[in-house]
Chain A
């Protein structure tokens, strides 16, 4: 069982839809991350939140909008996506400070039609 919970597990959306991916952790971690993974590729960093503030945005298009309502929750709001945005979206969390591994959820498999 993963300690990082992501919902939904699967999502199919049209290019004009608005949807949100949700992530929750109760390990007291103050750093949270969104990664994107395409088939047969490694996870690629999208966003990092540190103490509920956005600290890294890896030049992600504005159709992806992250939000961190509190220290346990991380959302990714999706709007006007393209078919090439179809991927596995992974949430992770870690302790702040040095040498702390990231703990990943099982991801949301997103298909944009």
Chain B
């Protein structure tokens, strides 16, 4: 049973436009959500996070939105750059005693020059 789902395996956008990556979760206990970016042959790199007490967090070109009632979060990248081309993983964790992450299956973003 996949608790974190990324239903779009791939996304292609033009340079300078907005990239929107989506993630859904089923576990109501999740209270901390993160986005990671992964290049081939490298480990995941932390991008941005949001706790369940907020509905938006922004860091430069990256903004994460959380809709708790819909159990949905999204990552907006604007403007998109060719260097953003990578696999993006959504991840979530639950409770203070356990900070291990559950990952989604990833979305491959390709930004076309």
- Chain A residues within 8 Å of B, Cβ to Cβ: 2, 4, 6, 31, 33, 41-45, 48, 56, 90, 92, 94, 96-107, 109
Contact = CB atoms under 8 A, between A and B. Distances in A.
Contacts, number: 59
A97 B44 contact: no
Contact of A33 (B4, B36, B49, B100): B100
30 contacts: A2-B43, A6-B43, A31-B99, A33-B100, A41-B105, A42-B4, A42-B89, A42-B103, A42-B105, A43-B44, A43-B101, A44-B103, A48-B98, A56-B98, A56-B100, A90-B43, A92-B43, A94-B99, A98-B96, A100-B99, A102-B34, A102-B46, A102-B101, A103-B46, A104-B44, A104-B45, A105-B43, A106-B41, A106-B43, A109-B41
B42 interface: yes
A99 B51 contact: yes
B106 A42 contact: yes
B63 to A, nearest CB: 17
Interface residues of B, number: 23
Interface of B: 4, 32, 34, 36, 41-46, 49, 51, 89, 96, 98-106
Contact of A107 (B43, B96, B99, B105): B43
Residue of A41, A56, A99 most packed against chain B (CB within 10 A):
A99
Contacts of B89: 42-43
B26 to A, nearest CB: 15
B42 to A, nearest CB: 5
Nearest to A44: B103
B43 A104 contact: yes
